[in-house]
Amino acid sequence: MQTGWNYKAYYGDKTVYYLDDFVTLDIETSHNDNIAWIVSIQLYFQGVYTLLRTPLEFIQYYQKLINDFSLDNQHRLVTIIHNASYDLSYLIPYIQLYLPEKEDRNGIYASEHKIKMYRQGGLEFLDTLSISGGQSLDTWSKNLNTEHRKEVGLYDYTKVLYQDSILNDQEKLYDMNDVLTLYDCFMKQLEIEEDATSSIPRTSTGYVRRDFRRECRKDKYFRQDYFVKNKMTLDVYKLAVKAFAGGYTHNNRFYADKIIRGHIKHRDFRSMYPTEIRCYPMPWGKAETVYDITKGRYKALNIPEPTIEEILGMMPDYSTITELYITKATLKDKKISMPFMQFSKLYNDESVTCRCIKDNGRVLYFKGGASICLDNYTLKIIQEQYNIEYHVLKCIRMKNKPLPKPIKETVDKFFKLKTDLKYKAKEAENKYGEFSNEAIEARNELMRMKGRLNGIYGMMVTNCIQAEYDIDYAQDEIENVFIKEEKITDQQKQEAIDKYYKSRNSFLYYIAGTFVTALARYELYEYIKVIGYDKVLYCDTDSIFYLSDDSTEKAINDLQAEKAKHAEYIIDEKGNRIYYDVFEEENDITAFKGLHSKCYAYIDCNNDFIATIAGVPSRTLIGMKDGKPVYLTREEELSGISAKQKMKGDVKVDNEKALKNVKDGFIFYVNTGTTCDYSTMCKPCEMIIDGHKIHTASGAIIKKLDSKEIKDTERPDEELIEYEII
Domain extent listing, the chain: 5-202+465-485
What is the 3-state composition of the chain as percent helix, strand, coil, each rounded to the nearest 5? 35, 30, 35
249/269 Cα distance (integer angstroms) = 14
pLDDT higher than threshold 60 for residue 2: no
Query: pLDDT at position 723, please?
Result: 67
| Residue 493: per-residue pLDDT | 86
Q: Which of 170-179, 482-491, 588-597, 670-679 has the lowest mean pLDDT?
A: 482-491
Q: What is the pLDDT of residue 1?
A: 46
Cβ proximity of 26 and 150 under 8 Å = no
Q: Which residues pair with 399 in a beta bridge?
A: 318
Backbone angles phi, psi at 248, to 5 degrees: -110, 120
Q: What is the pLDDT of residue 489?
A: 82
Count other Cβ atoms within 10 Å, centred on residue 554.
11
- Residue 144 CA, distance from chain mean position: 21
Give the Cα separation of 699 and 31 in Å (integer).
10
Residue 179 to residue 185: CA distance in whole angstroms: 10
pLDDT of residue 301: 58
Give the CATH architecture of domain 5-202+465-485: 2-Layer Sandwich (3.30)
Residue 581 region, left (φ>0) first, then alpha (ψ -120 to 50), else beta?
left
> Using CA atoms, how far apart are residues 719 and 722, in angstroms rounded to an integer?
5
Per DSSP, 339 falls in state -
Is 388 in a helix, a strand, or coil? strand
- pLDDT above 50 for 683: yes
CA 575 to the chain's CA centroid = 34
Q: What is the pLDDT of residues 201-244, one digit of tens each?
A: 888 888 999 999 999 999 989 999 899 999 999 999 999 999 99
Class of residue 652 by CB neighbours under 10 A (exposed 0-12, middle 13-18, buried 19+) = exposed
How far is it, in rounded angstroms, from Cα 141 to Cα 239? 43
Cβ atoms within 10 Å of 550's Cβ, excluding its own: 8
Give the DSSP letter of residue 466: P
**pLDDT tens digits for range 61-105:** 999 999 999 999 999 999 999 999 999 999 999 999 999 999 999
Q: 590 pLDDT exceeds 50?
A: yes
When pLDDT is averaged across residues 456-471 and rounded to a whole number, the result is 83
| Exposed e or buried b per residue across 14-26, where buried means at least 16 C-beta atoms within 10 angstroms of its C-beta | eeebbbbbbbbbb
Q: How far apart are the C-alpha atoms of 356 and 722, rounded to whole Å?
A: 14
> CA–CA separation, 587 vs 264, rounded Å?
9
Phi, psi of 376 (to 5 degrees): -70, -30
- The pTM of this model reads 0.91
Long-range Cβ contact pairs of 220-225 (< 8 A, separation 24 or more): 221/405, 222/404, 222/405, 222/406, 222/507, 223/507
Q: Do the Cβ atoms of 423 and 574 come closer than 8 Å?
A: yes
Q: Residue 11's pLDDT band (boundaries 50, 70, 90)?
A: very low
Q: What is the pLDDT of residue 13?
A: 67
H-helix segments, 579-713 = 634-638, 643-648, 655-660
Instruction: Provide the b/e sequence for 588-607 (b: ≥16 CB within 10 Å).
Output: ebbbbbbbbbbbbbbbbeee
CA distance 605 to 22: 50
Which tens digit of pLDDT belongs to each residue from 354-383? 899 999 999 999 999 999 999 999 999 999
